[in-house]
Structure 1
Amino acid sequence: MKQFLKASAGFGVFALILYTCLLVLNKRFLPQRLMPNTFKYDTASDFTATRLHEADSTENVDLLILGSSHAYRGYDTEFLAKQTGLKTFNLGTSAQTLKQTEILLEHYISRLNPKYVVLDIYPALLDNDGIESMCQLLSVEVLTKNMVYEALCTFDIRVYNTLLYTLVNKLFHFSSDFKDKSIPGEKYVKGGYVRSYIAEYEDAPFPASSLKISEEQEISFTRIISMLKERNIKYIMLQAPLPKERYSSYLNNDELDNTLKGFGNYYNFNKEKSLPRSFFMDQSHINAKGVYLYNKYVLEKLRTIYQSTNLSRN
């Protein structure tokens, strides 16, 4: 029996080493379509690596933006800083669900130490499993204790493969194959914002659907708000502009809005205004023209809520 256990353990170690070697080689050299159990971010154009690298060397901001691509494409740190005098940072990342928002906020809240937080709510992600976002953050070596724990709790082979690959890269000091890629018409702005001048929104059918927030995401939501309240950080939750056709395809916008209002100051831009097609870069995100108008709306809400003309630190 002892000999059997010893042999089994030896085989297990050999299998793990072989699997790891094949994973590293395949992920570096094979195209994504041949590796369905991994996410490959070697040609990302969302500047996540750049943004988080900047966050690691940034301290004591006044205004912090959190959320998905609607956050880093929808809130111009340069414009907001000029209008308010506030040091502003955008910590949005692609497909970031409230679960990843919670993890990133836990990691950066002491360093960034914000006075105000804008939490962007993209309703389509409230019931998302967060796998894509988790894999991306692991790819850029966000390896906090909570991130690793949550990764292990996903029981998803894509997350496990990404975690293993990143750990091997870090252990052996391999160069990362995650590189931010600029594309024509877009520019990274200091503070985490990605400015886009693209206006290529095309007609497309939007199937009717209902929105909901999953139990897991709601738990993270509650923890985020508690974290902010414990530190006396003022916060506001906003839903950024969507193309009218897309927003109208959601059948229960009023119901979702009522749920979100239960977490604090929440405002839905789409309930008050509608932007024309030329203000969108695609079927979901606003471009620089849209951001300018939307950010004026953001400042209006912040100033109304907190009764301040400049929102500067006391």
Structure 2
Amino acid sequence: MTVRETLDFSGRCLGVGTRYDMLEELSRREIAADIKPDPEIDAFMKATAMEGQETSLVTDYILKILGLEICADILVGDEMKRGISGGQKKRLTTDIIIHFAVLINKNLHNTNAVEMLAGPAKSFFVDEISTGLDSSTTFQIVRFMRQMVHIMDVTMIIALLQPAPETYELFDDIILLSKGEIAYQGPHESVLHFFGSVGFKCPERKGVADFLQEVTSKKDQEQYWFRRDIPYQYVTVPEFVAHFKNYSIGQQLHEKIKVPYDPNESHRAALVKEKYGISKWELFKACFSREWLLMKRNYFLYIFKTFQILYDIVG
């Protein structure tokens, strides 16, 4: 299958285009705010919200965002057949992850803010998407995910291995895990202040992400100690955890957790009551269309196998 066909299939399997309740809620809010959406954008929203669509418009948007337009109609390939490059395959895998959603920014066509969720996911857990990618591509992917979080109000947790400084700055909050415990969780603007209150300082030419990876390590921690009035002594992970609980941000998090969830403050569609986001019939149609496409491309093999079986039967 080509890159475009792979994304189309993944979008159909993920349930892209069946969020009638979201479209209804969006229309209600537009009417309440006296917003008149652009006719072209309104038509786009309704087209991609129709059940059973192959989401070609959404696919084109995702391909453009991650720079895969140049190989959109090239076969992905495998061990036996040459296809797209390794970096493009990695981006394609990331495309499938983020194909849950598409957004229309308020800057498009100079219209008012128009947002559309084309997939059912409200939480994303992404692990090591930067493996095999250059820093520029990683930055573009994380920037797009940041737009999704801010505009569509989704929750996204991303684990990256040594991100570049410009990529690190895209994150709103940082969760620093060490030995299975949370040493810090809060805004990235406050992380250096927190470790400064403990006694550690990030050098000017040192990346913050690299500093965070080393500051809890027994081997690398001493070089960041900056207090001259107190001699250095290794600060263990439990001590970091205890200090964070007494830190202002840690106390605020503790107070937020104590407040119970109030369903009256959220939209009725926020609480999902169905186990699956797409019907079995839609999954069957998506899988059938995929297999039919593969059969048409490998028709010679099926014809040959048919004659081979008939020959064995007659013989």
Same fold by TM (over 0.5)?
no
Q: Flag the structure with larger Rg.
A: 2
- What interval of TM-score do these two structures reach, taking the shorter chain for normalisation? under 0.3
Provide TM-score, normalisation by structure 2: 0.24
Relative contact order, higher structure (CA 8 A, sep 6+): 1
